[in-house]
Amino acid sequence: MKKEVKFSLVFRDMWQSAGKYQPRVDQLVKVAPAIIRMGCFDRVETNGGGFEQVNLLYGENPNRSVREWTKPFHQAGIQTHMLDRALNGLRMSPVPKDVRKLFYKVKKAQGTDITRIFCGLNDTRNVIPSIHYAKEAGMIAQASLCITHSPIHTVDYYVNLAKTFIDAGADEICLKDMAGIGRPVSLGKIVAGIKAYKQDIIIQYHSHAGPGFCMASILEVAKAGCDYIDTAMSPLSWGTGHADIIAVQEMLKDAGFQVKEINMEAYMEARTLIQEMYDDFLGYYIPKLNHINNSLLIKPGLPGGMMGSLMTDLEDNLKSLNKWKVKNGQPELTTDQLLVKLFDEVAYVWPKVGYPCLVTPFSQYVKNLALMNVIQMEKGKERWSMIADNIWDMILGKSGQLPGPVAQELVDMAKEQGREFETNDPQSYYPDKLDEFRQEMQQNGWDLGQDDEELFELAMHPEQYRAYKSGKAKADFEKDLAERKAKKHAPAASAELPKQIKVSLNGQTYEVNIAYGNEAPAATTAAAAAPVASGEGTDLLAPLEGKFYLTKDNSETPKKVGDAVQEGDVLGYIEAMKTFNAIRADKAGVITAILVNSGDSVEEDDPIMKIG
């Protein structure tokens, strides 16, 4: 009898790997029947990772989205699976233990069958508790091996890691080749080694197409006994995404495997609907370069899921850097020039920070560190001159044990700054917080939600959830989308561009003003409060572009006008490229003015506070 290989459609990751955002819930529900009628998928990736944060940014309830999106697949007998960042849950930063436990109860109740648990450090202390929490909640626990290519990450390393997860109770194993740089023959040996240890363990292979290895890798793992293959479909296959279901199905059929047929009429219907989503608004956040395979990705090993947002964010980084270069009489850089510099710097930085697998959040940490190095060096400053606290936590071991040693220059820098390396269980640094979030919801009169799902959402994404509840998230997104549409469709540079849009939220209309280029926006009537009026003193300038926050979580007390500060004190944060970069006082004094609101976008060198 032929060996059967089954297929999963990674619908969530298709969008994340292409660009910055995901479809709205109405779009998801509309496309689900066509995906089901295709008849070739036993599994669909429906949610997880950044998916639910995007709902919050739109002003949509992510809990309603997950429930409505998973329902038609359940009715059709198709399993749903999600991405799960172990210690980090669904976000970039570590999550308290009680929030992690609630996570699985909520997702099971909402209709997600399988959780794909991964840790970019492959630290078993982060993954094994999630295996137990998921199984206790009734979910299928799929433990991931984060695949990369380094002197440390050998076939034996991965086979032994899988054995540890299986012994700990994992129901399935995933080879998560998130950058698509796993070498085909080695991947086949890993699958064979796992099957030799436990023949009936289900193995699923996930890869990205960009570097060019994926089709050979799929064939090798299938020959070695892999049970499920992750695939995508046009117009979001290939490039920084994944192999197309049609090509994979035909290849495996020719190789003698038993595979399901594809209903091509339904395929074309689903493809048309995806293109409509693309044309509606999602295409404004999908750079053209992400449609192209690029073997330059082999060297830096950056994951496909990050490349979608990276190329979008890189436009802003380049604009900010070139503005500085023009001001200082230097030639501007092109996107390609900055990209090559970034790739080279990632390859330089990665071994020095201990070879973490380049997957969320560590791919962002290494990429951000490399990009900051490039930007600072382009401005004549020293490498390592700006390292975000999240990145220090990784280097110091607060996120888990790094696979390799940290470079001595970073060890010395940590010592100079009074930072200590940690060896404790990473969870021990992040105490329980659910009671605090429950109290906040009660004080605000917010409903805890069915199965405590609203409580979970606040606890998992505090800043985004608060912005969602206030209406600021929706207003900011609508403003950004309007700017992108105006820029794309303006017939000429001198064209009259819209200066204002109206956003309806909870029955109330807000007017949101739009600024272009270096214009200063007029005062807006959106939900945010007005900034504090300017006082006397020296301006504290934003060191980079991003969103300003007074705190990064509710364990901190926000600074206010009148507070005395010492040189080096943390006054706030700029969230850029999914990391929080601390803003420190450059002198002792008193805060006389806070010039921007928490959550506001700022550009490099914008005044944020005044210190008298």
Judged against a pLDDT cut of 80, whether residue 52 lies above it is answered with: yes
- Give Cα 123 to chain centroid, integer Å: 19
Judged against a pLDDT cut of 80, whether residue 493 lies above it is answered with: no
Amino acid in the structure at residue 45: E
Regarding predicted confidence, which is higher, 506 or 485?
A: 485
Judged against a pLDDT cut of 90, whether residue 537 lies above it is answered with: no
* pLDDT given for residue 287 in this prediction: 79
Alpha carbon distance 424, 286 (integer Å): 41
The answer to the question of residue 393 being in a domain is no
Judged against a pLDDT cut of 90, whether residue 233 lies above it is answered with: yes
Question: Phi and psi (nearest 5°) for 482?
Answer: -60, -40
CA distances from 604 to 66, 212, 215, 601 (A): 37, 37, 43, 10
Judged against a pLDDT cut of 90, whether residue 318 lies above it is answered with: no
The answer to the question of residue 457 being in a domain is no
The CATH number covering residue 575 comes to 2.40.50.100
* pLDDT given for residue 491 in this prediction: 57
* Token pair for 365: 């940490």
Which range has the top average pLDDT, 19-33, 123-137, 580-594? Answer: 123-137
The answer to the question of residue 276 being in a domain is yes
| 191 and 282 share one domain | yes
* pLDDT given for residue 533 in this prediction: 43
- The residue from 243, 265, 291 where one domain ends is 291
| 522 and 542 share one domain | no
Judged against a pLDDT cut of 70, whether residue 256 lies above it is answered with: yes
* pLDDT given for residue 293 in this prediction: 76
* pLDDT given for residue 528 in this prediction: 39
| 174 and 248 share one domain | yes
* pLDDT given for residue 523 in this prediction: 44
* pLDDT given for residue 498 in this prediction: 54
* pLDDT given for residue 544 in this prediction: 77
| 278 and 184 share one domain | yes
| Residues 349, 370 contacting (CB under 8 angstroms) | yes
Q: Which residues contact 123 (CB under 8 A, 6 or more apart)?
A: 399, 400, 401, 426
* pLDDT given for residue 312 in this prediction: 65
Q: What is the mean pLDDT of residues 353-382?
A: 89
Q: Using 50, 70 and 90 to split pLDDT, how confident is the model at 525?
A: very low
| 517 and 550 share one domain | no
Domain, as residue range, for 558 = 538-611
The alpha helices in 45-90, defined as continuous H runs, are 51-58, 62-75
Amino acid in the structure at residue 597: N
- The residue from 236, 264, 291 where one domain ends is 291
Lowest mean pLDDT among 9-13, 124-128, 141-145, 301-305: 301-305
- The residue from 250, 269, 291 where one domain ends is 291
Q: 413: burial class by Cβ within 10 Å (0-12, 13-18, 19+)? A: middle
* Structural domains of the chain, count: 3
| 487 and 607 share one domain | no
The single-letter DSSP state of residue 332 is P
| 10 and 125 share one domain | yes
